[in-house]
A and B are shown apart, each in its own frame.
Chain A
Amino acid sequence: MSAVEALPEGAYEVHALGADLGYVVEPRAYLALAAMLRGSGFEMCIDLCGVDYLEHPGRETPAEIRATRFEVVVNLLSLSRRERARIRVQAGDETPMVDSLFSLYPGVEGFEREVFDLFGIQFENHPELTRILMPEEWEGHPLRKDYGLGRVPVQFKETAPQ
């Protein structure tokens, strides 16, 4: 049961728990695969989020593909086929960057802004890539694993952690 006849170069089918179809792809194959799935009946992009695998550099992926620090995870939904598909894009390490799905699924605009805001992953051809949840002048990307937990400054210096 495959949704696309021939996978684009750089895309591999994997098992995905909670979805019928799973793919791990390189950024170059991402948009092409999404377009194929869109064409084969996946009408909705239900979710798009990022993951920072800083602590798991050598995690399991298909042999041909290199696992990168940042991953963009897209969950597609087909109403007609009653199926879900998950695409995991290996977005990169230092300057993660993937294509925007905006031209296929206009609804991801907000999700992509959120991923940019919280992970610092760039989306090419996004209409307006600005922060969405954090204030504009915020420094850093809070959901990265090397971004420390916040601490409220305390007025009583004796109780402040050293």
Chain B
Amino acid sequence: MSPDVREVERLEPLIVGTSEGAQEMTSRATTSAAALGVETGSVLRLDGVTLDPNSLDIERPDDETMIVNMGPVHPSTHGVLRLMLELDGEVVLRSKTIIGYLHTGMEKTGENLSYVQGATNVTRMDYLAPILNELNYSLAVEKLLGIEVPERAIWIRMMMSELNRVSSHLIWMATNGMDIGSTSAMIYGFRERELILAFFEKTAGLRMNLNYVRPGGVAADLPDGWEDDIEAICENLERRLPEYDQLLTGQPIFRQRMEGVAVISAEEAMALGVTGPVLRSTGVAWDLRRTMPYLAYDQVDFDVIVGTYGDNFDRYAVRLYEMLESVRIVRQCLDRMPAGHYRSQDPKVTPPPRARIGASMEALIHHFKLFTEGFHVPRGEVYSAVESPRGELGCYLVSDDGPRPYRIHVRTPSFANLHALPLMLRGGTVADAVTVISTLDPVMGDVDR
């Protein structure tokens, strides 16, 4: 040993406790039967059956398994998700998700922002689907206000949400490719999404967190020449998406990682409140755009894509074909985009046109009042929901006749879907856990809010 190397006594112990406390996963002996049921994903055995911790079909005693942390910062956790897994060798026996690392109290913030400002707040929740967040919030406010939105605004909203759905699914395809080692899918997904984001920037001024859909309509009309941009986007996607289908679906390694992995049944998915592509992959044709139409979805032609087995591969296939359906809707919007106003002409929610502000004192006061105090929304409570790329995105809004929401709660699909993880991880390997998180497609901003 060279004289330069000296041995130092370690000052801190190697294992230090974290501040999660009771939120962490504990050994089986100290966990209650019901909590063990949750952690092993025993969803359908709850009715009448008491879970005995000793009779769980985990055969290994406590001291032969280990509890391993995955995350909160792990390349496959799509944000800051911490997963605690009890492992028997490579096999996951039970798991627990620990969330809250991205909690910024957006619901509390929302109570202190006026209805005009509210859209800027909610758009940051699911940062991959900002338009859908704003739309969901605006629809709830409009329901309470009881105002009608012009036809053109409805169709613009519909076109933008479908573009957003495609861009979100593309990111999903990209990160999913990344998670199973297919870096080319990663690069392609981001490349295609770029075109859509560029169109968003051209229309709303920003690529993400747009604040484009607002109560009463949209922030701006479509830019000149938008037809050509949309045409180019659609053409590109229609050409490229079948290529990705070929690249991924036809690839034996990809199929082996996806097929038959992490199966969830329709009953289990419904019991857990799982919605969106994950629910549809089990064969349940539930898409709010079709079953409870909002905007003008009852006037356009599209198919609801369903799977059969509820495994990773079906979730992938459902999303892939949903993108093509979205392109179909965008094309119909392109053909049938009505003329007219892009926002409500109700002076209660809509500021006067820019040109009049310089000329009329009343218009200036009106504009000032609308953006400082905001408009008052009648007393009441409402729940409204839209189909986001991840599932049902709902907004529960309570108004007390003031300019700010008394309570705003956003039902985020990722939060509910994430609670299906223990069920889907169970019995699989750690390597599969990565693909399961990926095909569940959680956005942690959406989970923690």
The answer to whether A79 touches B286 (Cβ under 8 A) is yes
Considering only CB atoms, which chain B residue lies closest to A19 in the complex?
A: B383
**B34 adjacent to chain A (CB < 8 Å):** yes
The answer to whether A49 touches B32 (Cβ under 8 A) is no
Number of A residues near B (Cβ < 8 Å) is 46
Chain B residues, Cβ within 8 Å of A108: 273
The answer to whether B394 touches A131 (Cβ under 8 A) is no
Within A111-128, which residues are at the interface with B (CB < 8 Å)? 111, 114, 118, 127-128
- The smallest C-beta distance from B255 to any residue of chain A, in angstroms, reads 30
**B271 adjacent to chain A (CB < 8 Å):** yes
- 1/0 per residue, CB under 8 A from B, across A74-88: the answer is 010101001010100
Considering only CB atoms, which chain B residue lies closest to A47 in the complex?
A: B411
- The smallest C-beta distance from A15 to any residue of chain B, in angstroms, reads 10
Considering only CB atoms, which chain B residue lies closest to A137 in the complex?
A: B19
Other-chain residue from A46, A86, A111, A150 in contact with B392 (beta carbon distance below 8 A) = A46
Chain A residues, Cβ within 8 Å of B407: 51-52
The answer to whether B394 touches A136 (Cβ under 8 A) is no
Within B390-430, which residues are at the interface with A (CB < 8 Å)? 392, 394, 396, 398, 400, 406-407, 409, 411, 415-416, 418-420
Chain A residues, Cβ within 8 Å of B143: 17-18
In the bound complex, how far is the Cα of B416 from the Cα of A47, in angstroms? Answer: 9
**B61 adjacent to chain A (CB < 8 Å):** no
Interface residues on B, range: 35 or more
Chain A residues, Cβ within 8 Å of B418: 110
Chain B interface helix/strand/loop/mixed: mixed
Interface residues of A (CB under 8 A from B): 16-19, 43-47, 49, 51-52, 55-56, 73, 75, 77, 79, 82, 84, 86, 102-103, 105-111, 114, 118, 127-128, 130-137, 142-143, 149-150
Instruction: Sample 29 A-B pairs with CB under 8 A, ordered by A number.
Output: A18-B384, A43-B270, A49-B411, A51-B398, A51-B406, A56-B406, A75-B383, A75-B396, A82-B291, A102-B46, A103-B46, A105-B273, A106-B271, A107-B274, A109-B419, A110-B416, A111-B415, A111-B416, A118-B107, A127-B32, A128-B38, A130-B21, A130-B23, A133-B103, A134-B100, A134-B103, A137-B21, A143-B107, A149-B108
Interface residues of B (CB under 8 A from A): 19-23, 32, 34-35, 37-38, 43, 46-47, 99-100, 103, 105, 107-108, 112, 140, 143-144, 270-275, 284, 286, 291-292, 380-385, 392, 394, 396, 398, 400, 406-407, 409, 411, 415-416, 418-420, 448-449
Q: Please name 18 further chain A to chain B contacts, defined as beta carbons within 8 Å, in addition to the given A18-B384, A79-B270, A79-B286, sorted by A numbering.
A: A17-B382, A18-B140, A19-B383, A46-B394, A46-B411, A47-B409, A75-B383, A75-B396, A75-B411, A103-B46, A107-B416, A110-B418, A114-B415, A118-B107, A128-B34, A133-B448, A134-B100, A149-B108
